[in-house]
Structure 1
Amino acid sequence: MTPHPKAADTPEKESFLLAILNQSPTPMLAFEPLHDGQGTIDDFRVNFANGAAERMTFMSLADMRKVSLLQTCPSAGPLGLIDRLVHVVKSGEEVRDEIYVDFLDVWIDVSVTPLARGFVATLLDITARKRAEAELEERGRRLQGVLDASMNGIITYVAVRAQSKDGKQGSIVDFQFQTINRAAMNVLGLTENPVGMNMLSLFPSLIAHDFFDQYIDVVETGNPLRFETDYSDGKGAEGWYDVAVAKLDDGFVITFNDMTYLKNAKQVEQQQTELVNSVLDGAINSIIAYEAIRDPASGVICDFKIILANPAAEHYLERLGTELIGQKLLTLYPEELDMGLMARYVNTVETGQPFRTEAFYQDTATWIDLSGSKLGDGLVVTFSDITINKQAALELTQQAEFVSKLLDGSLNGVMSNDPVYDDQGVLIDLRILSANQAAELYLGSSECDLVGKNLLELYPQHIDMGLFAMYERVLRTKQPERMEAYHRADVEVWLDSSATPLDGDGLVISFIDITERKKAQRQADTLIGELRKSNANLEQFAYVASHDLQEPLRKVMAFGDILQKQYSSLLDETGADMIRRMQSAAERMQILIRDLLTFSRVTSNSDEFCPVDLSAVVRDVLTDLDTTVIEKGARAEIDSLPTIKGDALQWRQLFQNLLSNALKFTRAETIPHIRITYTKVNTPEPGFATLVPVDLLTLAYHRIDVSDNGIGFESQYAEQIFQLFQRLHTRSHYTGTGIGLSIVQKVVENHRGYIQAQGRPGEGSVFTILLPIGNV
């Protein structure tokens, strides 16, 4: 804050200071505040003015004191000048501002300093400077208006140079925008005026395009630059531009014109030309353009001259060489006059009506498909050799006759049909289009009587037989179906019928009478049912017999034990021996009955099958045979076996019998070695061709081999050993009833599998089991 000057000590001193102020060339005014009724400052009034101020305002101090600041300058209130002056008085802060005095029409640079209760204003007339600045701004606006009116982009840049330590001018490191017109901003995609910004900050890609170095060369050498460029910076400047660059002081002016449309137009024209040439060059059809040759006197067309021919036409007419241009039509093909083609060409030129026809050239035995359309005072003819197509059509006709004969030779009745729909699109019938001889014979009608008729009108029983519903599904789903249909009126009828959709909306029906086969099948099913009932009775009989025989046998063995224990002392050696023989026979009979009962209980009921872990089953069986294994020192090697769907108890019986036999039928002084291996096979080995049905040879199977190094057997007994009660050795050498392997075979068959035995005397035996994967 500037301190207030002290009051003059004497009148002489005060007069001296006033004289000095009056002699000052700078206008100075002192203002005192004016208050409203509430004591608030709301205006100011001059209480001192030096001579310079009086001269500037053309008013004396006395006149100035008659009016307040707001009366002199009414705009001081709305512009906030009064509020700022009040702030100076209250805060003691100095302010400086430029204000326009409207009643004097001058611009004043005002410096305000607080003084006592008011302030001192020092004035400087800056009207000339302000008017000069306004003129410059107006010139700038006019220049910018001229630039913005230009359709070319215009930008001026000034060089930005590096600082040089020796004070010399440094190298150019960038350029700064000085002016830019609206067209340039639109092309460059700028939304804000970049004046004052550096070029590379907005367009760093200019370095990569080598433009920046070219601009530097223009500034440093003064050589102007002119070029066309296909430019894109990803910010809007994209397209073809005609660019001119010229030095301007320490910078340059660049003018560019968007010529993208012109370039695109030329490119489109070039592409269209290339496209037409490509179409002509790549066309399979021959294309020839003709120009009419007219009689000078009458103006009537008398011939045509070739003005253009594509490579296909030149190749087709290669016998004439490649110089087709300029050739006359009737010179090349005089026969076209008699064929009527010349008249067609003339009519197209004169009327503008295009044509298309087929023509046969006898000298070359070729067929041509050709068409023509008017082009100026001539026409364009497009043609292709259709000789092969004609031959193919002939072959198709012959093939159709062959197919017809083939269908007529078929045992199946075959009919083609079109669907008949009602107004709601619901299938209501089929219209017969054709029928082979088998269909005619079966239906008792000729093809003439069938074709064009509706199927249900002739044979309504197709609805009750369910056939019409199948036809509807096939037409809807476009998937073929086949079914056996039954109908009984006076006689029963079975049909094996199939329906196949055609590519359009048609249907082919094929059928054959299988009534006799169905009757034979029904008789066979009856016999099979009776056989199953007989087998069930036999199994029941075996079960009851074996079960009921055990009771008297137990009594015989019990009484034999009593005789042996209580009365052995009363018997001689012969009697005791007879009792021992009786007991041995009874024990064998008991084992035989028990095995027979076990065999009768091995039944097949796949509905009760559940997952069976065969590895766990084998482990349990070996645990049961542990005593025998230890006694004989036997060694067992077991692969990891699969889990199948089956009957666990039956598989336990199977492995119990196979492993027991392997431990029973051993060679003296030979350690028993049992091996169980497992593999998956897609197709069984050739050796199984007699074991597995031919239609099942392609299935995937579980293969389980149970092998031993025992006594083996002759290969001729490979099937006999599975028969009930069959034994290959006497009872004195090996115990058993001959039922065990029969049980093994029955278990395998219950699981829809197959078993085969192989043996070599003195070497051992192998039992191979095949189980269909997924079918057990």
Structure 2
Amino acid sequence: MLLSAYFYPICQLVITRYYSQSTSFFVNSFVLTLTIDSSSALLDGLLNHANHAICIVEGVRNAADELIDFRYVKVNPMAYVLNKRSFGDMVGRTMLELFPGMDQVNVPGTEETLFRRFVRQMHEDDKLTYEVGYHQDGFDGYYAVTASRLTNCLIISVTDVTELHRTRQEKQQADQQLREQADLFTALMRVANLGLNILDVVRDDTGQLTDLHYRHISQRVLDDTGMTIEQYRNASMRTLFPGIEHSRFWQGFQDLLRTGQPQRFEVNYKFNDCENYLDVSYVLLDERTILSSYIILNDVRQAQQRAEQQAQLMSSILQNTQANLTLLEPVYAPTGKLVNFRYIFTNDSNARITRRTVEEMTGSLFFDLFPGIITTEFYDRLLHTAQTGEPNRFLFPYHADGLQGWFDVWFTRHGNQVLFTSIDVTESYQNRQQLERANRELQRSNEHLQQFAYVASHDLQEPLRKIQSFGDLLRKQYSYGLDEQAQDILGRMQNAASRMSELVRDLLAYSRLNTPRRAFESVSLTALLNEVLTDLDLISQARKAHIVVGNLPAVPGDAGQLRQLFQNLLSNALKYTAPDRQPLIRVTSRAAQWPKLPEVVQHALPPMADNRPIWEISIHDNGIGFDEKYLDQMFQMFQRLHGRSQFEGSGMGLAICKRVVDNHSGYITARSHPDAGSTFIVYLPG
């Protein structure tokens, strides 16, 4: 193809070459004016010998005259090398055909792809240069690209600057690291909690140290000495601290300069009427520069003293505690089997209980001193803790090797050692055994008493029934033959038998409450109260009572016993209301958390470990009331606050209520005033 088809007779070709020195590009531009008719060979020679890629491309347009691609019309040899193409493989082919990534890689700093930039340059006269990372079409590098328009063509010059880019990146990273190190050092000097100085060495003509000048001073030094940074920078060390050349500090500087080895020492130093203990370090940075640092040890010394005092206290505690303390170290056979334990530490208490000395046991083998241990569970548990690390506690009887008694034993592993703690509980164990025997005897006695009460109550019912039956028979068949006094005696006899029968029934009910209880079930108090009210329906109607029952909870319990509880409480509310007054009874409930319960209730109830609610159930009435000084007396057996002529009853009702509440781990109390009604309050766990 003729060059004249693409150029005016005179054209300019701009070829830009890139060189790297530090981080700058030096551009060497050659502008050649070529006369095509006479200088075609010169142009070819220049392109062929250029050491960077040069391509001349012309636009490819569609039917709508839109620029859709570029076709290579002239390519120098370096372009083939750079583009990894065989000679002649580019001319006549299009850019996007060979390098589709041109329309995917953006020009740095823009959202415009390389291809779109070339398209735009076909309408502009400016020569543009940019560096782009190209990782498409088999390339992985950085390239400097220069493009300029010449009539209907673009001249594109490309130089591989990957190595230059890498070098520049490395230099930028190195510069950044230097800046970060400088910033870090500056921050360290500013906030370091240690005194830190960088000192310049001053020598005489013989090379001997004569003085030191401050180059950098940390804030801690300024705070400790009360001087300003200007004072340090305007004077030398010997000027600021006269006589320092006769101190341990100066000797350290001389040793550092003489040996080149870092120096560290502790010194007691007085300055401005303050005495300090210092930990001082010197490091030689170079032959003229010293890094000096110190830490004030006053707090450390105080901490050491406190630690020594604490150690003495701990030693005193360990030696004087009632617990027997022993630290054992496992001893292994060559095969790796654990075969014994060695005493590392033991206290005086353990020495006394074993009748040996601390010195005798320390360093000795445990099973050599106490061979009887090997055949007991003590041996197995000790090995288990040593091998697994699981703590172990158990009650251990030992009657061998001069020891007689029961011991509460703990094993705890610390590192590879086992802490063995024991307490002689022989006396408490024997006392507990006696107490358990006494409890068993008491339980048997209670069982016998309950059986007796049940049998006695049951057997008493039959004679009473006969007395009542014979009394009724006498009244019906022979009352006409009895005078008024005899009939009165007969009536009194029947009343006494009736009261005795009621008392026996209540005693029987009370004794049944002491028998082993059945498993608790969830009991709906609402349903239970409805049943009780049904049983009391005749009485409540006769008294025209008004009874209101609020929302009641379900609680775990024995339905039969809870029925007795509420039947007695409601019966009392009806009974102990003046005959000329309509009974008004109200039953309510609310949930209360343990911390908010009255203190007397907290003391009476067992703690609820699972944080269950406590239900407070109240029975309010408008009855005759009572004086609260009799409150404790009311819940005892056979206790009455009123005579039988006023109100019937055996005096067992509230005692039964209290026993039911006790069986349910609850509490019962009451509030009242004479003739002002009463409120009985029952606390039951939910």
Same fold by TM (over 0.5)? yes
Distance 2:423 2:519 in 1: 40
Q: Which residue of 2 aligns with 1:627?
A: 538
Query: For residues 279 and 263 of structure 1, do their structure 2 counterparts lie closer, same or farther at Cα, with a shift above 3 Å needed?
Result: same
What residue number does 1:45 align with? Answer: none
Report how far residue 544 of structure 1 moved: 0.8
Choose from 270, 276, 279 the match for 2:184.
Answer: 279
CA contact (8 A) 2:461 2:504 kept: yes
Cα deviations by residue, 1:440-476 (Å, 9 ceiling, x for unpaired): 4444444333433344443456666755555555556
Cα distance, 1:527–1:193 mapped onto 2, change above 3 Å: farther
CA contact (8 A) 1:715 1:760 kept: yes
* Alignment CA distance shift 1:699-1:507 (3 Å): same
* 1:759 paired to 2:672: yes
Question: How many angstroms does 1:752 deviate by?
Answer: 2.2
Tell me which of 321, 345, 350 is aligned to 2:229.
321
Deviation at 1:674, TM superposition (A): 2.7
Instruction: Within 5 Å, give how 1:11-90 maps onto structure 2.
Output: none
Counterparts of 1:690 and 1:204, CA distance in 2? 79
Q: Which residue of 1 aligns with 2:5?
A: none
Inter-CA distance 476–714: structure 2 relative to 1 (3 Å threshold)? farther
Q: Does 1:369 align with 2:274?
A: no
Which residue of structure 2 lines up, in the alignment, with residue 723 of structure 1? 636
The SS at the match of 1:719 is helix
Quote the Cα distance in structure 1 between the aligned partners of 2:369 and 2:247: 52
2:590 to 666, 672, 678: 678
Number of residue-to-residue matches in the alignment: 615
Alignment of 1:117-266 (within 5 A): 176-178=69-71, 194-195=96-97, 202-203=104-105, 209=111, 218-227=121-130, 242-250=144-152, 252=154, 253=156, 255=158, 257-258=161-162, 259-266=164-171
Displacement of 1:760 in angstroms is: 1.9
Distance 1:602 1:543 in 2: 11
The letter of the residue matching 1:265 is: E
Higher alpha-carbon deviation: 392-401 or 314-323:
314-323
Q: 1:419 offset after TM fit, Å?
A: 4.1
> Which stretch of the first structure deviates more once superposed, 697-706 or 510-519?
697-706
CA distance in 1, matches of 2:153, 2:661: 103
Q: How far is the alpha carbon of 1:683 from its aligned partner?
A: 2.4
Deviation at 1:717, TM superposition (A): 1.5
**Which amino acid counterpart does residue 176 of structure 1 have in structure 2?**
D
Q: Secondary structure at the match of 1:600?
A: helix
Could you tell me which residue of structure 2 aligns to residue 656 of structure 1? Answer: 567
Mapping for residues 396-415 of structure 1, pairs under 5 Å: 396-415=307-326
Amino acid at match of 2:167: L
**Which residue number corresponds to residue 612 of structure 1?**
523
- 1:692 equivalent to 2:604? Answer yes
Of stretches 475-484 and 748-757 in structure 1, the one that deviates more from structure 2 is 475-484
Superposition TM-score, scaled by structure 1 size: 0.67
C-alpha distance 463-763 of structure 1, shift in aligned 2 (>3 A): farther
SS of the equivalent of 2:97 reads: coil
Instruction: Report the residue type matching 1:674 in the other structure.
Output: R
Q: Distance in 2 between matches of 1:703 and 1:579?
A: 48
For structure 1, which segment, 585-594 or 693-702, has the greater mean C-alpha deviation from structure 2 after superposition? 693-702
Which residue of 654, 658, 662 maps to 1:741? 654
CA distance in structure 2 between the partners assigned to 1:146 and 1:648 by the alignment: 112
Using CA pairs below 8 Å that are at least 6 residues apart, which structure has the higher relative contact order? Answer: 2
- State the identity as a percent: 29
**1:361 maps to amino acid:** Y
Local SS of the residue matching 2:668:
strand
Q: Note the C-alpha offset of 1:349.
A: 6.0
After superposition, residues 559-598 of structure 1 pair within 5 angstroms as 559-598=470-509
Instruction: Give the distance between the partners of 2:134 and 2:416, measured in 1 at CA.
Output: 56
Asked whether the equivalents of residues 465 and 485 of structure 1 are also in contact (C-alpha less than 8 Å), the reply is no
Q: Residue by residue, what CA displacement relative to the aligned partner does 1:470-527 show, whole Å, maximum 9, x if unpaired?
A: 555555665655444333357742333444554x444444443332222332222222
8 Å CA contact 1:368, 1:384 repeated in 2? yes
Task: Select 1:512's aligned residue among 423, 429, 435.
Answer: 423
SS of residue in 2 equivalent to 1:742: helix
Range that drifts further, 201-210 or 357-366 = 201-210
> Does the Cα contact within 8 Å between 2:58 and 2:152 map onto a contact in 1?
yes
Structure-2 separation of matches of 1:537 and 1:279: 89
1:83-133 CA-to-partner distances (Å, cap 9, x unmatched) read: xxxxxxxxxxxxxxxxxxxxxxxxxxxxxxxxxxxxxxxxxxxxxxxxxxx
Q: Following the alignment from structure 2 to structure 1, what is the Cα–Cα distance between the partners of residues 574 and 423?
A: 60
Gaps of 5+ in 2: 1-42, 85-93
SS at match of 1:559: helix
The aligned residue for residue 11 of structure 2 is none
Going from structure 1 to structure 2, the CA distance change for 1:499 and 1:351 (only over 3 Å counts) comes to same
> In the TM superposition, what are the counterparts of 1:220-619 in structure 2 within 5 Å?
220-227=123-130, 242-250=144-152, 252=154, 253=156, 255=158, 257-258=161-162, 259-283=164-188, 284=192, 285-289=194-198, 296=205, 319=227, 321=229, 353-354=261-262, 356-361=264-269, 363=271, 365-373=275-283, 375-377=285-287, 381=291, 383-387=293-297, 388-422=299-333, 427-460=338-371, 466-467=377-378, 471-472=382-383, 482-489=393-400, 492-502=404-414, 504-603=415-514, 605=516, 608-619=519-530
Moved more, 239-248 or 508-517: 239-248
Q: Which letter maps to 1:660?
A: S
Q: In the alignment, which residue of structure 1 is the partner of 2:31? A: none
Q: RMSD in angstroms over aligned alpha carbons?
A: 4.5
Measure the CA separation in 2 of the matches of 1:335 and 1:418. Answer: 56
Q: Secondary structure at the match of 1:555?
A: helix
**Cα–Cα, structure 1 residues 606 and 574, in superposed 2: closer, same or farther, change >3 Å?**
closer
Equivalents in 1 of 2:439, 2:674: separation in Å? 41
Residue 602 of structure 1 deviates from its aligned partner by 1.0
Give how far 1:433 is off.
Answer: 3.4
What one-letter code is carried by the residue in structure 2 that aligns with 1:727?
R
Aligned residues of 1:612 and 1:645 also touching (Cα < 8 A): yes
Shift of the 327–609 alpha-carbon distance from structure 1 to 2, 3 Å rule, reads same
- The CA deviation string for residues 694-740 of structure 1, in whole angstroms up to 9 with x for no partner, is 97799653332233222222101211111112122222222221112
* Structure 1 CA distance for aligned equivalents of residues 385 and 244 of structure 2: 53
Query: C-alpha deviations, 1:356-396, integer Å up to 9, x for none?
Result: 44444355643443445554435653533141223322221
Q: In 2, are the aligned partners of 1:683 and 1:699 still within 8 Å (CA)? A: no
Provide the C-alpha distance between the structure 1 equivalents of 2:63 and 2:109, rounded to a whole number of angstroms: 21
1:545 is displaced (CA, Å) by 0.5
**C-alpha spacing 1:442/1:741, structure 2 compared with 1 (3 Å):** same
The one-letter amino acid paired with 1:488 is: H
Structure 1 position 542, deviation (Å): 0.6
8 Å CA contact retained: 1:436, 1:447: yes
Q: CA deviation at 1:761?
A: 1.8
1:272 alignment partner, SS class: helix
What is the DSSP-based 3-state SS (H/G/I as helix, E as strand, rest coil) of the residue aligned with 1:723? coil
The one-letter code matched in structure 2 to 1:561 is: D
